Structure 1
């Protein structure tokens, strides 16, 4: 997951712009380490109130937040599209997902179950009783990326509050405005003072949160490089670290696949979803020889129908990338693939922050650009002859978020799924799939953490064992 935390800013102010037009949308404070320390100190006060709050009240708070977000869903989606660059229909879907996530964690707040452990399994302890209970971790820091800021904020902040923690959120520096409005709604819903706070700024803010002894846990969705740096700084205070990092998802198209559906999965899940800026989007396509040409023909035909333009228009499929610098990096990666021997079959032209969806064929699997995460609307296609060869090539990536397999053979689907070293495998669908009730995360340089309704709230609590001696007389 790529992040970019260097927007146009003065020493103390970040200017937020529409990435497509350059229009100034607002300004936010660029906080320093001292301001972050003050916020964390305040969060300790909010924690005391949250820890004492009964589960049913925490659940009610989260439901109220969801209701207020629902009331303003259209204005939130418009603001998010303007500052982020994703087409409006997609930002509507993101806001809707965030509302579901808040309601989902409201339910999880009332299901933080403990266990009764049978001590009669140990000779001499037969008359004693052991139970466990879940307790808040403390102050949780949540570092949110630019590509799906509202949805990923919801997973972190709602989970933290559901578990009885206080939370300090760092929104993305390039598009913080929607989350600033959501924070106002959280206050309006009745969150205790300092239980939910935002800190705005760039890398200095992230590093301060990671280093702070007052922060008990930190969750980051971002690049692998950022994850390593956060983990190093967090190690000094032994805080818990939850990382969901980069991805280079492979899609394997076998010779018995529905090639039209496979091509559609690339178009909708890579080229037209999030403007290609998704950690779990298809970033490498491997197609078996016998169906290669038919797949490419379908992919090119479907790509040609995409509309690139103003993200606030309902008809737009692909909007601007988060910044012109981000588009330049993607353009450079396409150029590297071509120099390494790939053929640019469609798209690739850049106009400011806009990049026409690119399809490359005859891609050499040894190209360094093919191995790295390209964070934009680019679909590189390579060939294979044996599905096991495709699995080997897919597993050579340092990332392991998702993979996809297109085949009509259920045995082949499960066999390849088991062999792929990833956190998830989608059969006959795009890897750009994230449902809030599924565990989401990956292996290797993707970070190892799993985020989802039934996982995150447990991660954001700690287990305590209570033993009652002589409980059974």
Structure 2
């Protein structure tokens, strides 16, 4: 199968192509356009031209397009799920879940398109402001450049496309090199939903060269990036006066308090899912678990038992929860980090073995805070368990991180829950949930090296619009 670029409402054949590989079998599943700088420039040209038509659409017209796209996606759920399972090596059950979330995200976008509203400003509150009514409106900013990751090749794209189109902007998606097929299918789907040509373009290829074109072109008014902190910092340093949203890494922490001792089995079940869903290749994957010393042994035993029941297999098998990683390079990096922790005195409770292009679910304890499996984002099926004396020690250790995206707390003590929630240096705190929890309409953004700005439909729209005030002098 060969796939080109998607520009101005149609597929465009490119001279250069590259192979998209299914990570589990390492078979080639498609050849996709490897876009040039000139082809990215062409996409920007068409997006800029289409902006006039997009911003002229009514809120209802934009909403109807998004609703129609959601319906079409729902109708084609199995087709999209299979593509995600193949190119992202995502277990098919998780891929289906991603489709369901993406449908919901598009519908949230349609709803928010109808609620982009300003406010009334009483100018007569100021001396000399008598006889004036004023109000604010939110206007679309223009062309949005989106650079998206491999791990959620549909929903994280939709989280940029939905708000951009809902607010009347146009968008260019530069998908991850490993997972371009889903974005290309989504663009075709939007054309069928009635989106104006040029409003949604997809340009696959190398991130550094194509991203630079978007950064250098003044017609691209905003860059929305999801990926590594290193690349995110580079983008921010080069963006100038463009708006920037950066969704970066994390090593999400969870605290399990002694007050939930009667629910340890349930908490362990949730924590295992939070740690190993989609191989741990999730920005908010549960990576560090701090457990009150009074219940540590019981939690550890339950957690390891449940981990050993996690099924490793083919991503197209409904029973699979963990499968091959996105590439061999990730496999080697994670194994080296596990070895480093063990050399530094950590205990391997289970896993730590390579299988196919992946790693069996791995649990470590007795780690050093300087071990990479703890202080960096592992982005793999590895979790560390550590006992703590009390919630104060847990809070201190949870905050000992360069990241700050999501954190979770399991406790039946309300006062303790609020103290921890207020004390955590993160963007989102989930009480009695694992940090690997996200609902698509909630605000989502990190602090420290985890990011800059917010996603979540309503909140992303605010960052994709400009505020304008209009004053009416009725005494003139």
Q: TM-score, normalised by structure 1?
A: 0.95
Question: Which residues of 2 match residues 46-125 of structure 1 at below 5 A?
Answer: 46-125=50-129
Q: Within 1, Cα distance between the matches of 2:340 and 2:245? A: 33
Instruction: Quote the residue 2:3 is aligned against.
Output: none
* Contact 1:365/1:382, CA 8 A, preserved across alignment: no
Which of 186, 198, 220 is 1:215 aligned to?
Answer: 220
* Contact 2:140/2:464, CA 8 A, preserved across alignment: yes
Which of 406, 409, 412 is 1:408 aligned to?
Answer: 412
Provide the alpha-carbon RMSD of the alignment: 1.5
Q: Within 1, Cα distance between the matches of 2:52 and 2:281? A: 38
* Contact 1:441/1:451, CA 8 A, preserved across alignment: yes
Per the TM alignment, residue 472 of structure 1 is displaced from its structure 2 partner at its CA by 5.1
Which of 10, 15, 21 is 2:19 aligned to?
Answer: 15
Q: Within 2, Cα distance between the matches of 1:112 and 1:133? A: 8
1:92-148 deviation line (CA, Å, top 9, x unaligned)? 010111111111111111111011101111011121111111111110011111001
Q: Which runs of 5+ in 2 are unaligned?
A: 1-13
User: Structure 1 residues 224, 11: closer, same or farther in 2, change over 3 A?
Assistant: farther
Which of 168, 171, 174 is 2:175 aligned to?
Answer: 171
1:236-264 deviation line (CA, Å, top 9, x unaligned)? xx110011111111111122223223322
Instruction: Quote the residue 2:269 is aligned against.
Output: 264
3-state DSSP class of the match of 1:149? Answer: coil
Instruction: Quote the residue 2:234 is aligned against.
Output: 229
Q: Within 1, Cα distance between the matches of 2:56 and 2:370? A: 56
Question: Which residues of 2 match residues 6-405 of structure 1 at below 5 A?
Answer: 12-203=16-207, 204-235=209-240, 238-257=241-260, 258-271=263-276, 273-405=277-409
User: Structure 1 residues 211, 338: closer, same or farther in 2, change over 3 A?
Assistant: farther
1:281-336 deviation line (CA, Å, top 9, x unaligned)? 11111112111111110011100111101010011111211111112111111111
**Runs (4+) of structure 1 moved beyond 6 Å?**
none
3-state DSSP class of the match of 1:405? Answer: strand
3-state DSSP class of the match of 1:216? Answer: strand
Which of 407, 427, 430 is 1:426 aligned to?
Answer: 430
3-state DSSP class of the match of 1:316? Answer: coil
Q: How many residues align?
A: 460
3-state DSSP class of the match of 1:43? Answer: helix
Per the TM alignment, residue 376 of structure 1 is displaced from its structure 2 partner at its CA by 0.4
Q: Within 2, Cα distance between the matches of 1:62 and 1:274? A: 28
3-state DSSP class of the match of 1:111? Answer: coil
Per the TM alignment, residue 365 of structure 1 is displaced from its structure 2 partner at its CA by 2.3
* Contact 2:372/2:378, CA 8 A, preserved across alignment: no
Q: Within 1, Cα distance between the matches of 2:138 and 2:422? A: 33
Q: Which runs of 5+ in 1 are unaligned?
A: 1-9
Q: Within 2, Cα distance between the matches of 1:11 and 1:50? A: 30
* Contact 2:82/2:95, CA 8 A, preserved across alignment: yes
3-state DSSP class of the match of 2:259? Answer: coil
Q: Within 1, Cα distance between the matches of 2:146 and 2:242? A: 13
* Contact 2:83/2:182, CA 8 A, preserved across alignment: yes
3-state DSSP class of the match of 2:452? Answer: coil
Q: Within 2, Cα distance between the matches of 1:211 and 1:284? A: 39
* Contact 1:325/1:353, CA 8 A, preserved across alignment: no
3-state DSSP class of the match of 2:460? Answer: helix
* Contact 1:210/1:231, CA 8 A, preserved across alignment: no
Q: TM-score, normalised by structure 2?
A: 0.94
Per the TM alignment, residue 383 of structure 1 is displaced from its structure 2 partner at its CA by 2.0
1:405-441 deviation line (CA, Å, top 9, x unaligned)? 1111111111111111111111122111110111111
* Contact 2:162/2:457, CA 8 A, preserved across alignment: no
